[in-house]
Amino acid sequence: MERPEAIQNFYLEHVPGSKIEDHLLKAPCPFCGSVEKKGAGSLVAYLDPESFFMGYFRCLNRCRPGGFAPHFARLMGIDAQKVPGFDPDREIHVRDVVYPSRNLNNEVKKFRTLMGEGEYAHFNDFGVSKGAVEELRIGYNGRYLVYPYFQEDGNCYAARCVMPGREEDQFWYGDEKFFAEEFRVFNVQDIERCEDGTLFIVDGENNLLTLKELGYPGVAVPGFSVLETLEPERLAYVNHVFLLTNNAPEAQLAARALATKLGYKARILKWHSSYKRGYSLCDLSKEKGKNFRIAVSSMIKSSESFSPFSSAEKEHIRFLQQIERDRGRQLLGLSAGFEKLDQAVNGIRGINILGGQPKAGKSCFFMQVSTEMARRKTPVIYYDFENGRQKIYTRTICRLSRLAEEEVRLQKLDREASERLEKALAEFKELLQYYRVVTDRKLSPDIMRRQIDFIKHETRQDRVLVVVDSLHKLPFKNLSERRTGIDEWLRNMESIRDEQNVAFLVISELSRGLEGHYDEKPDLAAFKESGDIEYSADNAMILSPSWDPLDPFSSGERKSILWLVASRENSPGRVSEYVLEYPYWSFKEV
């Protein structure tokens, strides 16, 4: 038997005098006689198999809160095995809370007697009737409205007192232990009542009242920040959870955080883009009046089961956009300015790690690559922990002007050299529009992400090059755990690469061999404290000098061979030979 049919037969069997009209079961309420109400009300149960609230029952006279079939069985004393979908192994989540013997139950009753026409008029202003207010046992202490926060044991230990019309004027009353965020769920007993059913979670008690006026089950939190503290285990046996916060990005983020924990059962209801910031259910009820139910139903129908994944449509559009951007391009990545290097790795993209012994020219090599990209209007962030801003700028001027550092400093130049320097300074000023040097020793992955967003915004460019000099000098929380710190940075770089369309050039140190010398034959294992390098790097390269880097007086050409030792998409091997044009701090590909 299908579940909708089983639920229908369950109510027909156990509700005396019931009949069904258009997917709605109607019967005299079997509970009204047990409470002090004027006249017996009608019980209705929603049986539309297409509805999220199929199986939800409630008394139109509000003699007691409604719920779904398992809750109905508990109220009627029906054997749980007769409830459709009964699970004999189900264990209800019980929190480790010791409830005190003293509570606010009697005070809540007193506060309810103080409710007058003025207080009910306040709620009526946004479409909430006296019956809905009484159902949630809201009271008045002579100045503040009192919202009692009953707990799962049926008692109230704390209440939130709010000045009518001035929500910022509020305080908590009762046992301080129950002021904590874990107890700040208004009408929390509806969670148990909605076992095997659907529940609303909203931001603000008054917003919940508007839904209660329509007959929906739900709970409220006093502020969106409480959403993130809700334990998903408390909602384990609720089939669907509708999350509806006030129209604010901060509240939406909190709802997403909870939805991520709840999984596909969560549905975040979205506001239309025309609604202003802070718009709420109370505002919607005021605006729509009698059409409020239609507006809420429309939001429910348009909701989608929460997913942490991008929609298929978005992924399709993103793929086509990338194809369009790549159309006609000879290189998939950014041009390094060296033809053979570009051919070897199909342009600079992903995470590219360059190793080499000290003084081999690694920094100089990446300074040249990065400044050339900036000249071609590719935004670059150079994270430097080795050379300093001034040295990077000076060497760039030397390379652009073909002048030695001493000549630039003394400026005793002939006419031709002066013109070269003037032209180089002009080019340097232009490239600085796209070039940022960062020497912050407190750098973190989050700061890096924000700085990448900034340079994208400032340059109006989508692709960014990030240079890290060097991997082993990046800030770590604990210097004694440098290897794990390096691995953590590499994982963050992978995430930034994928999410923000960033190419990385990263300098790494090499380990010495058994005799204290650097291996002549390049190998991936040569990377110092390599850890995740072999897994994280899209391309791993080694710059191997054929001259002695530690001999400042070495004669002849200073040649270095660049080796591609590992790559995800390209064949490893010898890339090319590079000549260091000293004292211009420039490499030439040969």
Write the DSSP assignment of 356-382 as a string of letters: E-TTSSHHHHHHHHHHHHHHTT--EEE
Residues 76 and 109 in one domain: no
Residue 34 is predicted with a pLDDT of 59
Share of the chain above pLDDT 90, in %: 77
Residue 469 placed within a domain: yes
Q: Are residues 434 and 579 in the same domain?
A: yes
Does residue 423 belong to any structural domain of this protein?
Answer: yes
* pLDDT at residue 529, rounded to an integer: 62
Using omega within 30 degrees of 0 as the cis cutoff, is the peptide bond preceding 49 cis?
A: no
pLDDT tens-digit series, residues 548-564: 665 655 556 789 999 99
Q: What is the dihedral of CA 308, 487, 359, 523, to 10 degrees?
A: -100
Quote the pLDDT of residue 554: 55
Shared domain for 366 and 405, answered yes or no, is yes
Burial 236-260 (b: 16+ CB within 10 A, else e): ebbbbbbbbbbbbeebbebbbebbe
**Residue 322 within a domain:** no
pLDDT band at 530 (very low <50, low <70, confident <90, very high): low
For the segment 265-287, the average pLDDT, to the nearest whole number, is: 95
Listed range (119-123, 290-294, 400-404, 557-561) with the worst mean pLDDT: 557-561
Domain co-membership, 423 together with 520: yes
User: Of 253, 274, 302, which marks where a domain is finished?
Assistant: 302
Residues 27, 149, single domain; the answer is: no
The CATH number covering residue 521 comes to 3.40.50.300
In a shared domain, residues 236 and 347 = no
Least confident range from 140-154, 280-294, 502-516: namely 502-516
- Residue 562 and residue 432 share a domain: yes
Residues 458 and 580 in one domain: yes
Residues 37 and 121 in one domain: no
Task: Return mean pLDDT, the chain.
Answer: 91
Same domain as 221, residue 357: no
Number of domains in the chain: 3
- In this structure, what CATH number is given to the domain that contains residue 160? 3.40.1360.10
> Is 484 within a domain?
no
**1 vs 378, residue with greater confidence:** 378
Q: Mean pLDDT, to the nearest integer, of 567-590?
A: 94
Is pLDDT above 90 for 478?
no
C-alpha distances out from residue 169 to 172, 205, 358, 500, 541, Å: 11, 15, 64, 43, 63
Residues 305-309 have a mean pLDDT of 82
Assigned domain for 186 exists = yes
Mean pLDDT of 202-224: 97
Which residue spans within 151-224 are E strands per DSSP? 156-163, 166-174, 198-203, 218-221
Residue 52 within any structural domain of the chain: yes
Q: So what's the pLDDT on residue 94?
A: 78
User: From CA 38, how far away is CA 566, in angstroms rounded?
Assistant: 82
Query: Are residues 252 and 396 both part of a single domain?
Result: no
Q: Does residue 479 lie within any of the structural domains? A: no
Q: Is the pLDDT of residue 519 over 60?
A: no
Percent of the chain exceeding pLDDT 70 equals 94
Can you give the pLDDT at residue 96?
84
| pLDDT one-digit tens code per residue, 6-59 | 999 999 999 999 999 989 999 999 998 755 545 678 999 999 999 999 999 999
Question: What is the reported pLDDT for 360?
Answer: 86
3-state secondary structure 493-528: HHHHHHHHCEEEEEEEEECCCCCCCCCCCCCHHHEC
pLDDT confidence of residue 322: 80
Same domain for 10 and 153, yes or no, is: no
Q: What is the per-residue pLDDT for 91?
A: 80
**Domain end (from 277, 302, 327):** 302
Q: Among 292-296, 356-360, 546-550, which stretch is predicted with the lowest mean pLDDT?
A: 546-550
- Rounded to 5 degrees, what are φ and ψ at 144? -115, 145
pLDDT of residue 1 exceeding 90, the answer is: no
Within a domain: residue 88? no
CA triple 353-359-360, angle to 5 deg: 55
Q: Name the domain boundary from 302, 318, 353.
A: 302
Segments forming the whole domain that contains residue 120: 105-302
